[in-house]
Amino acid sequence: MTKIGFIGLGIMGKPMAKRLLQAGYELVCYDIDPRPVQELAAAGAEAGESPKDVAGQCEVVITMLPNSPHVEAVALGENGIWAGAKPGTIVVDMSSIDPTVARSVAARLGDGGIVMLDAPVSGGEPRAIDGTLSIMVGGPQDAFDKVKDILLVMGASVVLVGEIGSGNVAKLANQIMVGINIAAMSEAMVLAVKSGVDPERVFQAVRGGLAGSNVLNAKMPLVMAGNFKPGFRIELHIKDLQNALNAAHETGVPLPLTSQVMEIMQALRVHGKDKDDHGGVVQYFEMLAGVKVRKEQPRDE
């Protein structure tokens, strides 16, 4: 079975790596924080000393990192993947980054015979834990075919979108739709509560109609419970929307709704809410209207 390197064991990377271990893959892990590496090592993985060390031992290297500069450093830095990987190694970057950076990193790795796929994910921590992420891939068909079974351990949907960078374009489109959907849900439910209507009943009334969505089903119960534990942090959604705005401006595409949601999230950052789950966007609308969207507690008879 293919020996896999996994670099980046954060809120998403750690459960994804665990899924690979549970599927029987040999795993060599690395993170700048030694604690998740130790946790994975206790579960049966090997601990790598650097991205270079990991790449030197593995045929496939998966990275799951916060943003573009981290991917560039891990792939191309002094002790980066490029320095240890053999020609023919496949690097699967599952981070959500700027598509132009994905293309430039792939080109630099390609000079050494290393093939890169960009394969960002959607679904957040719960789906990383149960292996049902949606994975959007950009890169060569032959490399995709070689790693598709590996990706299916972590995701329920794995789609090759197009050439390198296409995976991140799809992810940015996803994040635009998710962010706007959460904002629309929040605005609507604040209206319901301010009008004296139980948000749970509104949720049940609309979820089966055209307004129903995975976002509504996943986020509304958490909002009504006042549970904004991430999940997917607002600060990470800000990062994704910034990448979307950058890519859009480079290609001449205005994103007025995305810009508005970005400003809502920036306002929440000012109020110290950027570590909350992105479902916590509702708090912006709650502050404006002076109400909270919470499920009504049953009354004692």
Q: What would you measure as the largest C-alpha separation in the chain, in angstroms?
A: 74
Is residue 245 assigned to a domain?
A: yes
DSSP of 73-119: HHHHSTTSHHHHPPTT-EEEE-S---HHHHHHHHHHHHTTT-EEEE-
* pTM for the whole structure: 0.89
User: Residue 266's pLDDT is what?
Assistant: 98
Look up the CATH number of the domain holding residue 173.
1.10.1040.10
Regarding whether 182 and 153 lie in a shared domain, the answer is: no
Regarding whether 236 and 194 lie in a shared domain, the answer is: yes
Look up the CATH number of the domain holding residue 69.
3.40.50.720
Is residue 300 assigned to a domain?
A: no
Regarding whether 135 and 40 lie in a shared domain, the answer is: yes
Task: Give 219's DSSP letter.
Answer: H
Is residue 79 assigned to a domain?
A: yes
Number of structural domains (the chain) is 2
User: What residue has token string 């990383």?
Assistant: 128
**Alpha-helical segments (H) within the chain:** 13-22, 34-42, 51-57, 68-76, 81-84, 99-110, 124-130, 141-154, 166-194, 199-206, 214-224, 234-251, 256-270, 282-289
User: Residue 297's pLDDT is what?
Assistant: 59
Can you say whether the dihedral through the CA atoms of 268, 272, 277, 282 is positive or negative?
negative
Regarding whether 93 and 186 lie in a shared domain, the answer is: no
Polymer length in residues for the chain:
301
Is residue 145 assigned to a domain?
A: yes
Residue that terminates a domain, selected from 163, 195, 216: 163
Residue that terminates a domain, selected from 163, 198, 214: 163
Is residue 301 assigned to a domain?
A: no
User: Residue 66's pLDDT is what?
Assistant: 92
Alpha-carbon distances, residue 245 vs 118, 127, 150, 228 (angstroms): 19, 26, 32, 26
Dist CA 294 CA 220 (whole Å): 10
Regarding whether 40 and 144 lie in a shared domain, the answer is: yes
User: Residue 230's pLDDT is what?
Assistant: 87
- Tokens of residue 29, six digits: 């892990």
- Tokens of residue 186, six digits: 């929040």
The series of mean pLDDT values per 10 residues for the chain, 301 residues long, is 94 96 97 97 97 97 96 97 97 95 97 98 90 97 98 98 97 96 98 97 97 96 96 92 94 97 98 97 98 75 42
Regarding whether 13 and 156 lie in a shared domain, the answer is: yes
Do the Cβ atoms of 29 and 63 come closer than 8 Å? no
Regarding whether 159 and 178 lie in a shared domain, the answer is: no
Regarding whether 241 and 157 lie in a shared domain, the answer is: no
Is residue 212 assigned to a domain?
A: yes
Is residue 295 assigned to a domain?
A: no
Nearest to 287 by CA among 199, 187, 192, 202: 187
Is residue 63 assigned to a domain?
A: yes
User: Residue 301's pLDDT is what?
Assistant: 42
Regarding whether 127 and 7 lie in a shared domain, the answer is: yes
Residue that terminates a domain, selected from 146, 163, 180: 163
Regarding whether 239 and 130 lie in a shared domain, the answer is: no
Residues 6+ apart with CB under 8 A from 134: 121, 122, 123, 127, 155, 156, 157, 159, 174
3 classed as catalytic: no
Residue 199's CB is within 10 A of a number of other CB atoms, namely: 22
Regarding whether 75 and 144 lie in a shared domain, the answer is: yes
Catalytic pick among 18, 171, 219, 239 = 171
Regarding whether 15 and 117 lie in a shared domain, the answer is: yes
User: Residue 298's pLDDT is what?
Assistant: 54
Q: Which domain holds residue 188?
A: 169-289
